[in-house]
Structure 1
Amino acid sequence: MSKSPFTDEIEQAKPPGKFNLPHFTSFKGDKDPDRHLKHYRSTMVLYRNNDALMCKIFATTLQEYSSYRSIKKKSDHLFNVKKNPKELLRDYVKRFKAEKAKIVGCDDSIASAAFQKGLPADHPLFGEMIMKEDLTLANSFALADKHTLWDEAWRADKAPE
């Protein structure tokens, strides 16, 4: 069981006598959170001076709120991005770039290492990248673009007619 996020003072506070819980529309994470807060405040206007009650009751109006919390990812998150065996190289590069774009202040040297590490060891691009020294992320993506063109031409030649 998790510990309450409230202080002991709030946790132990009792509602005023004859308090009836007003009806609230639960916040499900799919609407404007500011609008939900304004609705809550206007409904609880009679109790606005009772901070403990305001906190405890507000928590009951939240059905889901985690989708509005931004989870900050760091550059090392990119080591979780792997090329799937049946995935086209173009799609892997696109997916990797999308994940990188979500990271504020992403370190390009870490991103470059993660991009390479996400490739299977037997992939021709992996072999070429490992042979080059001081390969920047931009150069890695440029090399990947060349391999994508080669990969697509190779697939087109092997396709049944």
Structure 2
Amino acid sequence: MVLYRNNDALMCKISSTTLQGEAQDWFHTLLPRSIQSFDDLSLVFTKEYSSYHSIKKKPDHLFNVKNNPKELLRDYVKRFKAEKAKIVGCDDLIASTTFQQGLPADHPLFKELIMKEDLTLADSFALAEKHALWDDA
């Protein structure tokens, strides 16, 4: 990394490849274009982990993550992903189920999710993205 210290974009990309587990999950919850330089990334990372005490959350924590009535679907997905990232080794089936249960029963995405069998969490997020695009139209 010393060779590329003058290239912020490359430094950010290289540093992200060194992260593992919860830190890597956290990195992927950062908003696009929210980091402008390697110094920004360092500051955000330090704020997140300098006083970090590993408070182990269990997968059932995700049952508390609900889509608020006035919350956009994309915001719910982003918040859900951030909460899931706090759970090391979270089972996809549990996460997928809790994601679905966090939606209101009258939400079109909820109705679509319950009609499909064997959806992975990635499949659920992909369907959510389609619904979020429809909401924007």
TM-score (norm. length: structure 1): 0.53
- Equivalent pairs, count: 89
Could you tell me which residue of structure 2 aligns to residue 118 of structure 1? 102
User: Which of 91, 109, 112 pairs up with 1:128?
Assistant: 112
After TM superposition, the structure 1 = structure 2 runs for residues 7-156 of structure 1, keeping only pairs within 5 Å, are 68-153=52-137
CA distance in 2, matches of 1:102, 1:146: 25
Which protein shows a greater Rg? 1
CA distance in 1, matches of 2:100, 2:52: 32
- How far 1:69 moved relative to its partner? 3.2
CA distance in 2, matches of 1:142, 1:76: 23
SS state of the match for residue 106, structure 1? Answer: coil
TM-score (norm. length: structure 2): 0.62
**Which structure would you say has the larger RCO, counting Cα contacts within 8 Å and 6 or more residues apart?**
2
The superposition leaves residues 61-108 of structure 1 with CA deviations (integer Å, 9 ceiling, x where unpaired) of xxxxxx653210011111100000000000000000000111110111
Greater helix percent: which structure?
A: 2
CA distance in 2, matches of 1:76, 1:94: 18
CA distance in 2, matches of 1:68, 1:103: 14
Could you tell me which residue of structure 1 aligns to residue 8 of structure 2? none
CA distance in 2, matches of 1:110, 1:124: 21
Task: Give the letter aligned to residue 119 of structure 1.
Answer: L
CA distance in 2, matches of 1:151, 1:136: 23
Task: Give the letter aligned to residue 94 of structure 1.
Answer: K
Unaligned 5+ residue runs, structure 1? 1-29, 34-66, 154-161
Unaligned 5+ residue runs, structure 2? 1-46
After superposition, the Cα gap between the structure-2 partners of 1:90 and 1:68, relative to the gap in structure 1 and judged at 3 Å, is closer
Task: Give the letter aligned to residue 82 of structure 2.
Answer: A
**How many percent of aligned residue pairs carry the same amino acid?**
83
